[in-house]
Amino acid sequence: MSDQNYSLGQVGDYEIRQLKIFKTVVNCGGFSAAETALNIGRSTISLHITNLESRLNLILCKRGRGGFSLTEEGKIIHQMTENLLESLDAFRTTVNNLNRSLTGKLRIALSDTVSLDTRSHFPELIQHFSMEAPKVFITTSVSSMAVIERMILNDEADIGFIPYHRKLDGLEYFHLYSDTCYLYCSKNHPLATMNAQEQIEQADTYPASHAGLKPHESISDQISTMNLSAISYFYDSRLALILSDQYIGFLPEEYAKSYIEKGDIVTVAPSDRFYNLGVALAYKKTAQPNKARELFLNVLQKIFYT
């Protein structure tokens, strides 16, 4: 059927409908199996495929007693059909998103303590965003940094608030604030009654809790010689281990402040044992529009820069 001088010309809605039928037949493995999926009879399906072959000037498939199979040309057309239909779906989604009012969901993932840290302005961000987009349904969740990164990259979250140990390809970052993290022990721990020099000399001998992930260089320098005996990523559980009198561990200064004031915990060798940790908003680099996310980022810019 192929003709070297044949030219397809314009492809319209009718050809696209036939290509969709062809794709369904291939995915179902034959005409009979496609009847239910397409809700049309086998003879009608066969007529559509025959008309498509005539339109393309190609034999796409073999059907008969030997069963259904694609020709080499059919395999190529099937792959190109999948690409075409995916592109059409993406185009439709983008246009609908551009024309859609601010509805739907905004999915926010946070590392622990960030939402109520006054430096994050999180309640203020939610207030301003919700006033401008009252129909957007907001969901929040609390997870570890690595999980939040994965959620954003997999389109399971739109925005993440994380301590950033690293910068990943595919993510954009907006710096919010920085924490100084110090080493702490409980008021009943042996280190609590030592002077600063004794604490520096003895700190590595006592069991310590740490986050359990690969740290950046400044954290690694601090914990590399420590007696790492427990893993606790979230600050609340790490604090609980410190309050047990059995472990020491690093906490952000702002988070530990009230417990210091109450005398529950003591800073260990503060001139020697500390590191800085940034906190950032992260979101995915993408060309796909997301009006809710863009509005939230605009609100963030206004609050942090005005």
Per-residue pLDDT, averaged over 144-168, amounts to 88
DSSP structure string for 82-105: HHHHHHHHHHHHHHHHHH--S-SE
Rg of the chain (C-alpha set): 30
Q: What is the pLDDT of residues 175-213, one digit of tens each?
A: 999 999 999 999 999 999 999 999 999 999 999 999 887
Q: What is the pLDDT of residues 90-109, one digit of tens each?
A: 777 677 666 666 778 899 99
Angle of helix 13-28 relative to helix 42-56, nearest 10 degrees? 120
Choosing among 3.40.190.10, 3.90.320.10, 3.40.190.290, 3.60.40.10, the CATH entry for 179-276 is 3.40.190.290
Whether the model pTM is above 0.85: no
Q: How many CB atoms lie within 10 A of CB 292?
A: 22
Q: Are 1 and 77 in contact (CB under 8 A)?
A: no
User: Where in the chain do CATH 1.10.10.10 domains reside?
Assistant: 13-99
105-177+279-305 has which fold? D-Maltodextrin-Binding Protein; domain 2 (3.40.190)
User: Where in the chain do CATH 3.40.190.10 domains reside?
Assistant: 105-177+279-305
3-state helix, strand, coil in the chain (%, to 5): 45, 20, 30
User: Where in the chain do CATH 3.40.190.290 domains reside?
Assistant: 179-276
pLDDT at residue 232 in the model: 93
Work out the angle at residue 196's Cα, subtended by the Cα atoms of residues 194 and 198, and round it to the nearest 5 degrees: 55
Tell me the average pLDDT of the chain. Answer: 89
CA atoms of 81 and 76, how far apart (whole Å): 9
SS3 state at 2: coil
Per-residue pLDDT, averaged over 280-289, amounts to 84
Choosing among 3.40.50.720, 1.10.10.10, 1.10.540.10, 3.40.640.10, the CATH entry for 13-99 is 1.10.10.10
Q: What is the pLDDT of residues 108-129, one digit of tens each?
A: 999 988 998 999 999 999 999 9
